[in-house]
Amino acid sequence: THRWIVFIIISHLGKRGILVVLISVVLSLVFRLGKRGISVVLLSVAVGVYLLPSPINPQPYIFKGPPPLLEGPLAVNTRLQNGRRLFTGQLHGPESFTADPEGNVYTGTVDGKLWRIHQETLTLITHMGQDLQECGSRTDYEPVCGRPHGVRLDSGGQLIVADSYFGLFSVDPQTGHKTLLLDSKTGADGVPFAFLNGLEISSQTGIIYFTDSSSRWGRRHVKLEVIETNALGRLLTFDPVSGHVGVLLDGLYMPNGIALSPDESFLLLAETSIGCILRYWLKGPKAGTEEVIMNNMPGYPDNIRLSDRGTFLVGLTTTRFRKLMPPFLDLIGPYPAVKRFLAKVVPLSWYNMLLPRYGLVLELDGEGEVLGSLHDPTGSLTWAVSDVFSHQGRLYLGSTDLPFLPVLEDWS
């Protein structure tokens, strides 16, 4: 009878409730047993934590060097503060953007919805997954609700969407009708997609370039992917005419945003978890090869976009500055045991406390040289910048989670 009562109580408590009960038991034992008892209890707890399986299997990673100094084109300024927030409370995590010739801007949000923005008007196009009230409230619902990341328009005026969970879609921007082009379960070369992310379309060939950030972790576990720092990502292509899926690069560290050069001779790709940007050659004598053009960045790059003046704009999802202590990932990078321990005992939501409220955008040329930067040192307009979309003189600033859309009317 007592066992059944205990079983019923535990089944209703859940993980957090069980943890609270265990902490209460440990504290009561400490107060009752005295100093020797404290030592025994602490040793028991340490052994118990050590024996717990870790959700991650990290490898050591050492960053190439310390972050750059904030000087020259990286000098601190307030250029990113000269904007305003739109649709506060209506758009939650507008991650990626595209626009049509009529001036409509399209984006997707954490609740699995696709939107059309015309001037100051917001219109819902469709839901990528189920339309549930809980969508957007917790990441646990994302595999059901969907999460549109990369969004682009193809030559036929259809929205091509990389949903992190479901796959590649073609969506009619007028009717909201969805057509599944490539299922995540199918994947490529026998490996399903777990975290579709960046997206780009060739205006010359119609080929879709996209990234799968991890073959192990979905978007809702992105913090585990970053802490683990394993090379589990791929750069891929999809031909919408033949249906052929190709793998251009594998063994990438959380590949994220991609952008084609103006002549489409190469593309730039962000490896978020190691603060790096690659150049992959599509044409010319170097076709099919890649090279690092920027590392030891002052933050972790998310999307890369071609600006309307031919430069590349990079949103930094989190800054990586020189301070009294090395940046967090630099500090734990060489020590897999520390990473495994943290993944066991620290709730994922706690890592948000380590993230600075600092907005930063970089402007690069095709060689990876920094031409300029836009800062928001206090996060008064935005922080955790995921995308920087330049359209008709205005900058649309994406984010993964923030409940508003920041825009700059003039960024020159």
DSSP state of 271: E
The Cβ of residue 91 has, within 10 Å, a number of other Cβ atoms equal to 23
Q: Are 142 and 219 in contact (CB under 8 A)?
A: yes
Mean pLDDT of the chain: 90
Q: Which domains does the chain have, with CATH numbers?
A: 1-51 (no CATH), 72-408 (2.120.10.30)
How much is the pLDDT for 191?
Answer: 97
Residue of 393 and 12 predicted with greater confidence: 393
> Which tokens hold the place of 113?
């919805």
For residue 408, CA distances in Å to 14, 27, 168, 301, 382 come to 45, 53, 30, 20, 11
Query: From CA 226, how far away is CA 377, in angstroms rounded?
Result: 24
Kindly tell me the burial class for residue 129, based on how many C-beta atoms sit within 10 Å of its own C-beta (0-12, 13-18, 19 or more): buried
DSSP 292-329: EEE-S-SEEEEEEEE-TTS-EEEEEEEE----SS--HH
Q: 150 near 208, Cβ under 8 Å?
A: no
For 295-304, write each residue's pLDDT tens digit. Answer: 999 999 999 9
Residue holding tokens 């603060």?
275
Q: How many CB atoms lie under 10 A from the CB of residue 382? A: 26
Q: How confident is the model over 331-371, as pLDDT tens digits?
A: 999 999 999 999 999 998 888 888 899 999 999 999 999 99
Position 287 pLDDT exceeds 50: yes
Q: What is the rounded CA–CA span in Å between residue 275 and residue 43?
A: 38
Digit-coded pLDDT (tens) for 142-168: 999 999 999 999 999 999 999 999 999
pLDDT in tens, 33-70: 666 666 655 555 555 555 589 999 999 999 999 999 99
